[in-house]
A and B are shown apart, each in its own frame.
Chain A
């Protein structure tokens, strides 16, 4: 039983049950609020009837022409609310919004080591479009998979033809 509702800035005060997860990054105020201001429809909280934040999804629409696409910035679920296919539901919502904005595809970045997530995205129809070198910085830099799923506007599915060569992080155009 889940309630999809717009992410509310006060959620920041109580989202630790979700964000203490080591694969969920916590950002400064600015980051969350920019999403709230610019892409409120892409920023949603999933709430349980008892008021717990079960997870949230944040994303945006960006790019020009055939690169106009929805981007998943974060999708995360608290440990207690795993194994309910919530992430899949949130992805679906995000895809629907991207469809309504007439995007060509949806993309996301994922750590190459994160097998669970990669597998899930695969199941949802995402393919590895390219590998980005040293996308994640930290104690140990890590590569990212740029995964994509074509939307109905990309009739020929051009957006998901994989690139063969990995791309250095500096070379990608993030907008």
Chain B
């Protein structure tokens, strides 16, 4: 024993420097220290595991995996420290299933070790393997009969019932209940957690009476009485659910006397009362008058000042009216004479009492429909008479006669403006009037700023309404200049009111719509967007960097975003294990659902797709590194790669930040927009994923061929005919790509303007789809398949016939005169039904030219939606509206992406050709015939067409650069609606213009220089084929 302890402490001393280095975050040093230990004492396995951890933390996953593999091959019993170190490795490598495997092995060796079994249970918690959880908890309980293990077992059953509700109801939940009951009956319950779990099981079976009995019985008293602050609510809910409505009503009456602002109590009261009215129709009138009396008495007490004047009773009265109307229990016309009162008067009173609260509008919005059209005007007039301020623009020169002098008056006026908007007053105004009213709103904020009002919270809302009005005009006309003016207003508000988050959020959206990436990144940083907000507010940045040519930044952003989601999942899993340890059972089902929803975010999936796609096409510098990135060799966790279940992805974006004051179908419009942009992004991601997969298939084909040719064994030749060949996958994938592209083209043929101010920014997907980029990519993939197939059959034939009879091979190739030049016809035994005619260089040239020129067809406005597929003969559009400069930048970015894909495709196919590839160099000399073949010649011609394209993009970018330097202001920042020369306000805004112009220019310039760099890279990559 003593010897053991001594040995342990020696090892501990040895490992200490490694632990210290890891704890202080110095991973490099940790790895070095581990090496030192291992050099002297090779058998110190924990040092190796710790080294692996240090490597994981220094982003050297590959090396870490090698070490882990070495350790696992040893197949011995690990000490705790090694197990812990390996657990950390697997957690951070996003491979939780391996933790379970690790402890399964350990538990097999020591089946009665409590600690190991507990770790195994927790490992299954991480992988959500409820059946195994149940088994392990039972094993634990059998050896160590402690309550927590018993209840882990029960909770694992409840989670299985969650996953399979049908089986849950029929079998699992009754079983769980029986198990708890056994403990209750034997008086073995020990903790609050156990009672909470009991309640959960009963609630899930809708056994509300039983639940209530537990809550109110000795178990509840003993374990829950002081711990459940929401006991009242829970009891009320159970009482309602179990049909004890009279009890609920009486209790609510009592409780509401003390807490008249409590919406939860009113909800319970109404739910029970209306349920009772449905059950016992004879009691309807009695109950209605009881409810009316109660709520009106409460209101009167508030009005008389006998209690705090809280909003509850006033809103509860309106809510009661709505619920009665819904059930036809009152007649609208008779409300005036009823105890409840006429809605017009009730709403006017509400405004009188609470119009100075920022939430007044949100409070009464659900009840405004009660007014009917005529009284809307009366209501507004009454409200306005309180403030004495107008809700429409002043006619004439825009001078404002009267300002709100204090915060309360300003808020009352703002409530009026919000009401007016919801009644459609703004909708009825023409663009000029909207701009004038917007100007007035800005002037009201300016006055408050000039007067040095301390609390600007109310006045800032003037700016929001003003921007909303400008946005209205923008969304009708699509005038980019207006967007620029909103930017100026936003920058001004940001300067006078730096804490205002709404305006910064909008500014980020506007800058994003204008493609000014750097400024969006700054704003997102200033808003301190992090953790879950990277998902819910992800729309500010997600598409931006890659659409506007910041490829390097984009890769960093996506990789980082992946890490955010991984980290989130790890944290939730850690918390889940804590929840079991602490018996926080009620939280567990929610936590699991939350983690599922978070992981399924389309941004989580999308970040993987995008980073793979961009890293492959832009950061690879050889076919080997391209292959590594596409096949994602770095990680071994559950990989999405080619198989993403797009039907299960979720949209977690939050558009609830910017308030909107439109009543008319606003929420539906916002929901539609969210849905549309979501679908567009998902479909775009799928395109990119399919492109990556096609390239990956070519990479795999190349590897496959290498493996075969290196072995040169006749048996391997059989593999070439295998149906799982990467080449055949390529054929399937190109088919899917075509079909998906076709689907996109027919679904998104119109660039619709964003209509909700606080809604998602446009994706530009339809603009992309019109640009001809995919036609070029698709054409090259087809060529790639046909050529690769052809080369393949050639070499098979050559192999079979010992390289002597290439010309006689089954893959006959024949050049024939076609319309636009020589065509090459290849046979393909695998798909005889498909056309095997390679496009000619001229045809490819036409596609490339069309793609290069497509930006001339871009429009921003709705009046002339972007072209249909019919491109005019000379490829030049007639319109003069140039979407300068942001969509031009996007166009260049898409060009570079498409070109990059085709450049890699050409290089891969060339490598597959008999003349290509370094490893075949020796062969090349002996079979000189092959590189003369028509197919190789044709490939060379196509490559030349592609090789000349990057120079054209570079020229485009150079022109853009020149244009911006020459006349940036008139291109994107000229005067329009708000900025007129006779206003003080204009002076304030114009003040900002120089700075805004400079920063936007700088942001664009950065995009351009980045893209020129990549254009240059593409050019040099195609040097071999570059024509003079």
List residues of chain A with CB under 8 Å of any chain B CB.
1-6, 8-10, 12-14, 16-17, 19-23, 26-30, 33-34, 36-38, 40-41, 47-50, 52, 54, 79-84, 93, 96-97, 100-101
Contact = CB atoms under 8 A, between A and B. Distances in A.
B528 A40 contact: no
A153 to B, nearest CB: 14
Interface string B548-575: 0000000000000000000110011011
Contacts of B531: 26-29
Interface string B567-606: 1100110110011001010110011011001000000000
Interface stretch (B200-208, B441-449, B654-662, B936-944): B654-662
9 contacts: A1-B263, A2-B262, A6-B230, A10-B590, A13-B597, A40-B584, A49-B366, A50-B366, A52-B362
B229 to A, nearest CB: 5
A1 B312 contact: yes
A41 B233 CA distance: 13
A98 B572 CA distance: 28
Contacts of A22: 499, 501, 528
A20 B262 CA distance: 27
A81 B363 CA distance: 10
B357 interface: yes
B584 A9 contact: no
Given A3-B263, A34-B575, A93-B229, A49 B315 contact: yes
A5 to B, nearest CB: 7
Nearest to B266: A1
B226 interface: yes
Given A33-B575, A83-B356, A83-B357, 15 more contacts: A1-B261, A10-B593, A12-B594, A16-B654, A23-B499, A26-B532, A28-B571, A29-B531, A34-B575, A52-B656, A79-B358, A80-B362, A82-B457, A84-B359, A100-B229
Contact of A14 (B501, B502, B656): B656
B830 interface: no
B232 to A, nearest CB: 10
A157 to B, nearest CB: 24
A21 B229 contact: no
A87 B1014 CA distance: 54
B537 interface: yes
A48 B359 contact: yes
B536 interface: yes
B319 interface: yes
B311 A13 contact: no
B228 interface: yes
Contact of A3 (B262, B501, B571): B262
B527 interface: yes
A3 B263 CA distance: 5
A13 B366 CA distance: 24
A50 B656 contact: no
Most buried by B among A14, A36, A49: A49
Contact of A20 (B267, B501, B571, B652): B501
Judged by DSSP, the binding face of B is helix
A79 to B, nearest CB: 6
B230 A5 contact: yes
A48 B366 CA distance: 12
Contacts of A2: 261-263, 312
B357 A79 contact: no
Please indicate which of the listed interface residues B316, B574, B587 has the most CB atoms of chain A within 10 Å of its own CB.
B587
A29 B575 contact: yes
A17 B499 contact: no
B227 interface: yes
Nearest to A29: B571
B501 A21 contact: yes
A49 B319 contact: yes
Contact of B652 (A13, A29, A54): A13
Nearest to A17: B657
A4 to B, nearest CB: 7
B587 A9 contact: yes
B162 interface: no
Contact of B571 (A16, A19, A33, A54): A33
A3 B264 contact: yes
B560 to A, nearest CB: 15
B357 A1 contact: no
Contacts of B980: none
Interface in B492-542: 499, 501-502, 505, 527-533, 535-537
B575 A30 contact: yes
Nearest to B582: A37
Contacts of A29: 531-532, 568, 571-572, 575
B358 A9 contact: no
Contact of B584 (A21, A37, A49, A50): A37
Contact of A50 (B228, B365, B505, B532): B365
Contacts of B356: 83
Contacts of A50: 362, 365-366
B259 to A, nearest CB: 9
A13 B654 contact: yes
Nearest to B652: A13
Contact of B587 (A30, A36, A100): A36
Given A3-B264, A34-B578, A83-B358, A40 B587 contact: yes
A2 B485 CA distance: 39
Contact of B578 (A13, A37, A41): A37
B357 A16 contact: no
